[in-house]
Amino acid sequence: MQINGAHWHLLLNHFPIILSIIGTGFLFASLFIKNNGFRKASLFIIVVAGLFAIPAYNTGEAAEDVVENSTVVSETYLEQHEEFALGALAAIIGAAVVALIALGIMQWKSEWTGLMILLAFLASIIAAGFLGYTGYTGGKIMHAEIRNEAGSQTENVKSGNTEKMKMDNDDD
């Protein structure tokens, strides 16, 4: 089996979502747990999430090329996902930059450390929200059960009526 753009996108896109949620949760905990090692690890996770977001975003176009002519994919969902993906990329890169600055400031033991950690936390909340919603819109591309179409899609698959599925998707 040849790995195509859709495979790469599906392999990579979960990492920035999960890492941003974990990093944000750990960063929240670090506001109460006064442990610099834990704070640094939390910030580092946000930076890694930002790094994973770049190839996840860059494989999106190749994934679209693979699925856009499928009878079960709606152009509406592809466009919605693509629109949110750019915002999500900007949000997580922004959060990663703030986290990187916070890591640098922590090394200098600056009085700005607390403020930068708080800013990194706020930026990571926004990024995690963007990434989570972008993942949801991506899931809607192929998963009828989250599009409130599970019944009609399931019946069409069972009956082999993929042309009906294409018409159902075009109505969106």
pLDDT in tens, 48-85: 999 999 999 999 999 988 888 777 787 888 999 999 99
How far apart CA 165 and CA 121 sit, in angstroms, is 43
Which of 9-23, 60-74, 157-171 is least confident?
157-171
| Number of structural domains the chain divides into | 1
| pLDDT, tens digit (0-9, with 9 covering 90-100), for 127-141 | 999 999 999 999 888
**Are 121 and 23 within 8 A, CB to CB?**
no
Domain that holds residue 85: 5-170
Which residues fall within 8 angstroms of residue 163, CB to CB, at 6 or more apart?
A: 71
How far apart CA 42 and CA 38 sit, in angstroms, is 6
Residue 100: which pLDDT band, with cuts at 50, 70 and 90?
very high
**Are 131 and 23 within 8 A, CB to CB?**
no
**Are 106 and 40 within 8 A, CB to CB?**
yes
- Residue 150 has a pLDDT of 52
